[in-house]
A = this chain, B = another copy of it.
Amino acid sequence: MPKRKIAVVVTARPSYSRIKTVLSAIQEHPDLELQLVVAASALLDRYGSAVNYIEKDGFIITAKVFNVLEGENLTAAAKTTGIGILELSTVFDNLKPDIVITVADRFETMATAIAASYMNIPLAHIQGGEVTGNIDEKVRHAITKLADYHFVASESAQERVIKLGEDSKMVFNTGCPSIDLALEIRNSKTLPFDPYEKYGGVGAKPDLSNGYLVVMQHPVTTEYKDSRKHVEATLEAIYKLNKPTLWFWPNVDAGADGTSTGIRAFREQHNLPNVHFFKNMEGKDFLQLLKHSECLIGNSSVGIRECAYLGVPVVNIGSRQNRRDRGGNSVDVDYSQKEIEEAITAIVKNDKIVSSSIYGDGKAGIKIAELLAEVPLQFHKTIMY
């Protein structure tokens, strides 16, 4: 029997980190062949060149597709998706995959979903069924309605996908593959690398040995024009606290420039003797950094997932993760300098934060690969009610 060809389209740095263990598990599975397509911001310097990490990690890239349209408005996001469909159709037509995998809910993942489902290629969706209260919900649930297999990350996500009318036999709670990496470093005692040396970056180089904060804040698509104001609240809070802080640039989004501009302008106007800025970091190193930090600040889903598993305190800002399941390690605050500052101060003192396996047990990659080898190949479905 020929191996099943599994095409995975990676479109962004954080998506790659999230599903790296799925890629490895597919590659190692005797009945599966990996067709890795790298596209969109995963190819771009400005957004951390995930492609370099992918190659360094030893994956063979089957095709690259540049499809990010440049622009400071939402039109560019729509057009990026359109170009993605146009080109991924050609890629799939040439690769003839048995199953296509699309990851999560970034706007451009819709391109993968539409190309595959319109071409009658069975489509698997990783991380459907979650709720955030944001624009990415439209994308996420629409992809659920296009997908044939659902590899969800939590029980509540599983229930929600079934409520959406999907066949429960095709909805699998595998846990989130991002937890797989966290499993490996869960027992780390000290930070095993010097982040300044290994990742460069710019700004001050505060001493990290007595604790440090990590910040990662993305623009929120539907509140496009406010991106700059949002990041300024965080910048001011960090400025006031003046603790050793490692700040990560946001990845691409329609409002990216609002956030980035806000950071750049603040840096030019203020002295930040305790803040270092990184563009990006390999997934496992980033988890190590979080594991040994006092607190993560921002709106990254890493705070909700991996940090829950690792038991790292999180100050979660704004609406981006609004209705996602929480593991008890985080506190939610508004875009307010005062709220952010106070929440950080409180949470770093809180010694009750423990690990939670709400997003899985660290074996999602292997589970997903096994399912991919076994599920019936089908692209025809009907709503269950």
Q: Whole-angstrom distance from the CB of A341 to the nearest CB of chain B?
A: 28
Question: In the bound complex, do residue A84 and residue B87 qualify as a contact, i.e. CB atoms below 8 Å apart?
Answer: no
Stretch binding the partner chain, chosen from A10-18, A113-121, A294-302, A369-377: A113-121
| Interface contact A114-B163, CB-CB below 8 Å | no
Q: Does A28 contact B (CB under 8 A)?
A: no
Which of B64, B76, B144 is A145 in contact with, Cβ under 8 Å? B144
Q: When chains A and B are docked, how far (Å) is the Cα of A369 from the Cα of B144?
A: 31
Tell yes or no: A346 within 8 A of B by CB: no
Task: Type the 1/0 row for A200-218, where 1 means its CB is closer than 8 Å to any CB of B.
Answer: 0010000000000000000
| Stretch with Cβ within 8 A of B (4 or more), from A41-49, A230-238, A240-248, A276-284 | A41-49
Q: Are A45 and B72 in contact (CB under 8 A)?
A: yes
**Option from B89, B90, B132, B145 in Cβ contact (under 8 Å) with A142:** B145
Considering the complex, give the chain B residue whose CB is closest to the CB of A87: B90
| Interface membership of A381, Cβ < 8 A | yes
Does A86 have its Cβ within 8 Å of any Cβ on chain B?
yes
| CB pair B115 A78 closer than 8 Å | yes
Tell me, yes or no, whether A1 is within 8 Å of chain B by CB: no
Tell me which of B65, B120, B323 contacts A222 (CB under 8 A): B120
CA gap between A120 and B74 in the complex, in Å? 8
Checking B43, B79, B382 against A85 with a beta-carbon cut-off of 8 angstroms, the contacting residue is B79
Roughly how many angstroms separate A114 CA and B75 CA in the complex, as a whole number?
11
Q: B66 to A160, Cβ gap below 8 A? A: no
A85-B85, A87-B90, A118-B107 in contact; A45/B257 too (CB < 8 A)?
yes
> Using a Cβ–Cβ cut-off of 8 Å, how many residues does chain A contribute to the interface with B?
74
Q: Residues of B contacting A146 with CB < 8 Å? A: 138, 142
On whether A141 and B145 interact (CB within 8 A), knowing A44-B72, A69-B67, A69-B69, the answer reads yes
Q: Does A273 contact B (CB under 8 A)?
A: no
Please, which residues of chain B bring their CB within 8 A of the CB of A92?
75
A81 contacts B by Cβ under 8 Å = yes
Given contacts A78-B115, A82-B85, contact A46 B70 (CB under 8 A): yes
B70 lies within 8 A of A75 (CB): no
What chain B residues lie within 8 Å of A268 (beta carbons)? 202
Of A77, A83, A90, most B-chain CB atoms within 10 Å: A90
Contact A64 B81 (CB under 8 A): no
The answer to whether B68 and A70 touch across the interface, beta carbons within 8 angstroms, is yes
Given contacts A64-B90, A66-B71, A90-B91, 9 further A-B contacts (CB under 8 A): A44-B70, A45-B72, A64-B94, A68-B70, A81-B118, A82-B85, A82-B111, A144-B145, A323-B382
Q: Which 3 A-B pairs have the closest CB atoms?
A: A82-B85, A82-B86, A78-B118
